[in-house]
A = this chain, B = another copy of it.
Amino acid sequence: MAIDPTGVNQPGVRSRLSLLMALVGSAIADRGDEALRATGGLDAMDYMVLAVLDESEPGSQLELARLCGSAPGKIVGILDQLEQRGIVVRERDPHDRRRSIVRLTADGRTVLEGADAIVEGVEAELLADLTADERGQLHDLLRRIDVSRTVA
């Protein structure tokens, strides 16, 4: 039996925006993770770290962890593996030798581009029912949500 014979998706949570957001977010995360593992040799968290390094320049591992929404202790193992594979490098900040400046290598940038292509493929499939214009609207709306806002 098909889940959705009548064209109704997400049966059971359609009227609740929060649940839709959580469900769609989890769907893209799960599928992206699966595709990356199968094709790219990374996982979703690796990809997040690389994307953050591509778009920001965190001044320390702690800041990187915060930008990734991850605990400092979790980043360590991820970076260990990425560094071992030549995808990132850690350099000590000369002004404060406690800090590690993490950077993408040239190889790392190539790996990230491949990962982007894989993730965009998954994304195109999940968003197949939306026009390019609508995907742009979705992107713009999500960009305007401040996930760092403190809960009152």
Contact = CB atoms under 8 A, between A and B. Distances in A.
Interface string A71-110: 0000000000000000000000000000000000000000
A114 B34 CA distance: 36
B18 A28 contact: yes
A9 interface: yes
Contacts of A20: 139, 142-143
Interface in A137-152: 137-139, 141-149, 151-152
Number of chain copies forming the complex: 2
A92 B80 CA distance: 53
A9 B123 contact: no
B18 A123 contact: yes
Interface string A114-152: 001001101101111110001101110111111111011
Which 10 interchain pairs have the tightest Cβ spacing? A25-B25, A12-B52, A22-B29, A27-B147, A12-B56, A20-B142, A9-B146, A3-B148, A12-B67, A12-B55
